[in-house]
Amino acid sequence: MTLPNTSSEISRLEQLERRVLALEDVNAIRDLKTRYAACCDNQYDPDGIAALFTEDAEWESQGLGKFVGREAIRGFFRGASKIFTFAIHYALNGQIEVQGDTARAQWFLFMPCTMGESNRAYWRAGIDREEYARVAGKWMYTRKSSSPLFHTPYEEGWAKTRRG
């Protein structure tokens, strides 16, 4: 292996290294989002979900509440499978911006689900706004906020009813 011998070659290598690291960071955040969805779709695994958040993280969803701290987030998810007895979380069109050891993203959520109280199928969609931090070499949530676009009974569809 030959080592770079000019400053332009070193500069090019440094630029490539920065670009590769940025791609690895974005990919790691996408993986974090995928793990979050998998935990939600596994009966809202409270321990699995809590492990994805920093100790002082915030989780908020309009209509469901705001929870501050990993233990409060875990506590909410202990009962989430009673709210949604079935759900599939689709995270779409992720827009991720990494700045050093912090990052932000916006995702569209599409979630066919069954509401536990009524045992009725619903369509849900919303926008997730998220913040992350690299902690001990891995990306974790520091803030997750979901805003609804629609929540409507399956048989009515979103054209007739935006909120159910």
One-character DSSP codes across 122-160: EEEEEEEEEEEEEETTEEEEEEEEEEEEEEEETTTHHHH
Q: Are 40 and 109 in contact (CB under 8 A)?
A: no
Burial-class residue 73 by CB neighbours within 10 Å (0-12, 13-18, 19+). Answer: buried
| Residue 5: band (very low, low, confident or very high) from pLDDT cuts 50, 70, 90 | low
Q: In the chain, what are the domains?
A: 7-160 (3.10.450.50)
Read off the pLDDT of residues 69-107 as tens digits, 9 standing for 90 and up: 999 999 999 999 999 999 999 999 999 999 999 999 999
| Residue 4: band (very low, low, confident or very high) from pLDDT cuts 50, 70, 90 | low
Quick one: average pLDDT of 44-69? Answer: 97
Taking residue 130's Cβ as centre, other Cβ atoms within 10 Å add up to 23
pTM above 0.85, yes or no: yes
pLDDT at 1: 57
| Structure token pair of residue 116 | 């536990």
